[in-house]
Structure 1
Amino acid sequence: MQLTDGCLGEVLGGNELIDGQIDIKFKKNVERSTICDLKLDAAMVKQFKEAVENSYWFEFFIDDLPLWGFVGEYHPDRSNDNMHLLYTNKNIVIKYNGDKIIHVNLTQESPKPLEEGRLLDMTYSVKWIETNVTFARRFDVYLDYPFFEHQIHWFSIFNSFMMVIFLTGLVSMILMRTLRNDYAKYAREDDDLETLERDVSEESGWKLVHGDVFRPPQNLVLLSAVVGTGAQLAMLVLLVVLFAIFGTLYIGRGAIVTTFIVCYALTSFISGYVSGGMYSRNGGKNWIKSMILTASLFPFMCFGIGFILNTIAIFYGSLAAIPFGTMVVVFVIWAFISFPLAFLGTVIGRNWSGAPNNPCRVKTIPRPIPEKKWYLTPSVVSLMGGLLPFGSIFIEMYFVFTSFWNYKVYYVYGFMLLVFVILIIVTVCVTIVGTYFLLNAENYHWQWTSFFSAASTAFYVYLYSIYYYHVKTKMSGFFQISFYFGYTLMLCLGLGILCGAVGYLGSNLFVRRIYRNIKCD
């Protein structure tokens, strides 16, 4: 069984394959034949016993088709000498159609006790069987239809869809009813001084901060970078999901990760364009600093987490460690494709869409922000803003986590596309409502609040991952804990930046819309 080198995504996913030392020829049956002779020493016995007790299993690939087997059997009710048994023979059944391999299966037998000094003859056999299953449908056996197409999956979509209807109706009510009366008052041409003075004295809420609402936010460089990166990630997720739907990427090992890396590099123009335009519109001068931060922020955060996990994998001697050459390849892709495209996008963005066009003029002296009740503070608005978006993707997160950590093949990317669209709509609507409440509280620091209000969705996803780890997985030990929470942190950082950018861009359009018809000095 000769195994070839994997693609970029396969290596990054910790699935670098090694030769299984099992010689298999096409359509050639093999009676019981020796793989190797294994002489057990004390260290080997201890290692095998630990593997058997913890139900360790291995994975083979034959013509890109996986097959699995346990290391051995554990019987705690037997005597000490027969508690740990190691499988010594592997029976491999391969089904074929013409010159194509269609299905592979593995059964094991001949369990032998693990005893120091014992010589074990590790053997295998191969049997070829013809089948009429077509090559195009050979992967269907790995797809768990009852699990992914359960009724609760459809119910979650319906529940999220109803949430979208409710939130869009709420936002429409704010825009069409609450603001319409204010617009009518501001649009009046009335020479009556008494009426004008009465109208001015009755002003309250969001209308009072029109001279400060377009004031540049603090840490403009960082906000521009995360908004640009989030816009890129939103487009990236959409492209990868569409490729997965039409290209069945789940069939190839590491194909999803490879597609993600390539699409990320090619969509870097979007992050530069959005970030450069936003930075220039808000009066930013050091656009080179903004461009460098935009191009490197998310990749270097992922690199930092990956470096720590890779160091742990090397320390434990795991195949999950990423080779140095692969890291060089990823860096070259970033340096020669992603970075130049981000630079080009920044230049075009700041020149084409970077001119200030605020509906209201910013006053010289900032308006003092009055104290409000605790639930109208930016921190509370930000923390509560992520609850509904998380609720819209809660069920799908269970399927995604189960697919990734319990090694099920995730193939229902149509569901994921629908959930992603729902997430975007819910995030925009919730953030707009939160921004409106904040402005009515006469707090004009809406930019970062709108970002964190949407980004807090990732915080709840991470809390859910802690619950999932303790309830749904059987992981233990520092190595597994670090990889689980490290990769989950990487996922949540990307999700937070994506949702935050979507929330900010939606709130930005809302704020510009409601202040557009106000007559400002």
Structure 2
Amino acid sequence: MAPHQPWLLLLLLASWPLPGSSQPRYQPGDPVVLYVNKVGPYHNPQETYHYYQLPVCSPEKIQHKSLSLGEVLDGDRMAESMYQIRFRESVEKTVLCVKTLTLDQVERLRQAIEELYYFEFVVDDIPLRGFVGYMEESGFLPHSHKIGLWTHLDFHLEWNGDRIIYANVSVRDVKPHSLDDVRGPGPLSLTHTYSVRWSETASERRGGRRGRGDDGGFFPHTLEIHWLSIINSMVLVFLLVGFVVVILMRVLKNDLARYNLDEEASSSSSGDDFDQGDNGWKIIHTDVFRFPPCRSLLCAVLGVGSQFLALGTGIIAMALLGMFNVHRHGAINSAAILLYALTCCISGYVSSNFYRQVGGERWVWNIMLTTSLFSAPFFVTWSVVNSVHWANGSTQALPATTILLLLTVWLLVGFPLTVIGGIFGKNRAGPFDAPCRTKNIAREIPPQPWYKATLVHMTIGGFLPFSAISVELYYIFATVWGREQYTLYGILFFVFAILLSVGACISIALTYFQLSGEDYRWWWRSVLSAGSTGAEELGAGSPAAGSRLPPDAQVSLLSLLRHLSNRCPTEFQAALLALPPDTGAQIRGALSSA
């Protein structure tokens, strides 16, 4: 199986849809298919339903569009509509259908309009969005509450050559049909109409589409002050790097000079008896590389962290290369699934290799722990949320075929690659390279002051990296749980690098202070100190995202908890990846210099 993996990777990369590679070309008069997609409350992005679940004009036989994996994961459920649109042929006001509504159907529409339902159509991979109806409410006397349904839609499309550049839907020059006076037992007959306007533009497809925006201004664009995040992060990085490089190195240099003088003065004593009349980090040099408890779990955490670091870097790199067109639904979701499966070999290799170095023997159990460390909790939380979505009839619930596809990808690609990576890592692992031997009997650790407790180090180690990315996290939360759109991947990559740099610096500094107190249990402490950034994000993300949800959004609340409960451990593992190796390298270098 191993020799075929590179060819499989090349095949998958070659088949990746690049922007512009599948843009349709039209001749005058060619039909342009408009798909209806989903509806949902404007202030609740996690609650979406199929458009035809509303009492609207629908064909006798609904033809669904074949969707990609990413589109299904994004909650898309596209189906053909009754709108007849032809390339470069404008259409005056024409009748779509005459819909007869019962009183219950009218109440459903009234409730949808009161909850600010919006619809989403798709034409040539361009989403068109608009509100289902109109609501006007006055809080002054006399109190008024008006609800109207938009029965006419105006489509405006721009073309250049044989391609569609821009599309938008609006309700120009029409009044909504009032639903306030519908109280009788009889049915309500509504005539739905539409019009199509074509205009030529000089803009090219790539620049025109992205420059005009993919939503016609329907969703807000409030992501203009990212430089505040960059300045804040850069100041913190310079301060921390200066602290670690200048101050810490000077302290280590003075310590090494003092220890070398003491060693020359007491040359008759044994090299392992440095604890006579001295203290500090050098006194525990025979215990500092004593292997930690729960080695298999520690190695599994490092392995999964390596995988997610590669996964996050790959996603951002693909975005920087322009492989994610903002008009393609769910492209990032598809890429995340693909890269997660392919990077499973990294987690298996790193975990098994390090596990063998620290003297682990149960490498099969280590592989099983590595492959289930993220996937098992993720599956449990996803199952709960998906069941709630399914019970509510939301399009966020995955179909059974998609679930089977994801399980097949994990069983046939992800899990085997984890095992293969584990076998390679185990076979290529050498002995642990420690600059000094470890005593058989562990040294007694003296009582530590309160400011050197694990919880204090976790608070400090998580807060500083979190503060470096806190401003950028606001925009990410606004994108995930709000309506803003995030496309500044260059800044995201820069902030991601800052997160790793700050985490590594603060982990090295905290480990030095821990060793100075003659506490050699630095393995798990360095992991928890830097990885607690995920806990800081959980504490800040819950109220930030909760404030964006309506009070009765139980489904969105569950989705919020699922996102945070899965995202924060993921960031925990990815953030701490380079920290124990970097910390160990610093300790090795210091002891080797001594």
Shorter-chain TM band: over 0.9
Pick which of 208-217 and 471-480 moved more.
Answer: 471-480
Which residue of structure 2 lines up, in the alignment, with residue 243 of structure 1?
Answer: 318
CA gap of 1:421–1:336, structure 2 versus 1, over 3 A, is: same
Please say if 1:142 is aligned against 2:208: no
Query: In the TM superposition, what are the counterparts of 1:254-273 in structure 2 within 5 Å?
Result: 254-273=330-349
TM-score by length of 1: 0.92
Which residue of structure 2 lines up, in the alignment, with residue 173 of structure 1?
Answer: 246
TM-score by length of 2: 0.81
- Distance in 2, Cα, partners of 1:76 & 1:191: 88
Contact 1:5 1:16 in 2 (8 A): no
Please say if 1:105 is aligned against 2:105: no
Please say if 1:343 is aligned against 2:406: no
Secondary structure of the 1:83 match is strand
Task: Please report how far the alpha carbon of residue 194 of structure 1 lies from its aligned counterpart in structure 2 after TM superposition.
Answer: 8.4
- Distance in 2, Cα, partners of 1:331 & 1:177: 54
Please say if 1:162 is aligned against 2:208: no
Contact 1:379 1:449 in 2 (8 A): no
Secondary structure of the 1:213 match is coil
Please say if 1:13 is aligned against 2:74: yes
- Distance in 2, Cα, partners of 1:191 & 1:405: 65
Contact 2:74 2:329 in 1 (8 A): no
Secondary structure of the 2:421 match is helix
Per-residue displacement from partner, 1:455-496 (whole Å, max 9, x unpaired)?
111112122222323445556420121112322322222111
Contact 2:274 2:283 in 1 (8 A): no
Identity %: 33
Pick which of 279-288 and 487-496 moved more.
Answer: 487-496
Query: In the TM superposition, what are the counterparts of 1:436-447 in structure 2 within 5 Å?
Result: 436-447=512-523
Contact 1:378 1:438 in 2 (8 A): no
Contact 2:542 2:564 in 1 (8 A): no
CA gap of 1:66–1:498, structure 2 versus 1, over 3 A, is: same
Pick which of 329-338 and 380-389 moved more.
Answer: 329-338
Aligned partner of 1:94 among 136, 140, 157: 157
Contact 1:82 1:113 in 2 (8 A): no
- Distance in 2, Cα, partners of 1:200 & 1:460: 39
Aligned partner of 2:107 among 46, 62, 75: 46
- Distance in 2, Cα, partners of 1:423 & 1:76: 46
Secondary structure of the 2:96 match is strand
Per-residue displacement from partner, 1:20-70 (whole Å, max 9, x unpaired)?
332322223333333333333333233222221221211111111111111
Ranges in structure 2 where 5+ consecutive residues have no aligned partner: 1-32, 36-64
Per-residue displacement from partner, 1:233-292 (whole Å, max 9, x unpaired)?
111111111110112414221111111111122222221121111111111101111112
CA gap of 1:444–1:18, structure 2 versus 1, over 3 A, is: farther
Task: Please report how far the alpha carbon of residue 354 of structure 1 lies from its aligned counterpart in structure 2 after TM superposition.
Answer: 4.0
Task: Please report how far the alpha carbon of residue 331 of structure 1 lies from its aligned counterpart in structure 2 after TM superposition.
Answer: 1.8
- Distance in 2, Cα, partners of 1:149 & 1:482: 27
Query: In the TM superposition, what are the counterparts of 1:236-315 in structure 2 within 5 Å?
Result: 236-251=311-326, 252-315=328-391
Aligned partner of 2:196 among 108, 122, 126: 126
Aligned partner of 2:525 among 434, 439, 449: 449
- Distance in 1, Cα, partners of 2:312 & 2:200: 41
Task: Please report how far the alpha carbon of residue 71 of structure 1 lies from its aligned counterpart in structure 2 after TM superposition.
Answer: 1.4
- Distance in 2, Cα, partners of 1:227 & 1:420: 18
Please say if 1:495 is aligned against 2:556: no
Aligned length: 517
Task: Please report how far the alpha carbon of residue 83 of structure 1 lies from its aligned counterpart in structure 2 after TM superposition.
Answer: 2.0
The AA in structure 1 aligned to 2:95 is T
Please say if 1:76 is aligned against 2:137: yes
Please say if 1:329 is aligned against 2:400: no
CA gap of 1:492–1:20, structure 2 versus 1, over 3 A, is: farther
Contact 1:59 1:66 in 2 (8 A): yes
Which residue of structure 2 lines up, in the alignment, with residue 190 of structure 1?
Answer: 264
Which residue of structure 2 lines up, in the alignment, with residue 406 of structure 1?
Answer: 482
The AA in structure 1 aligned to 2:228 is F
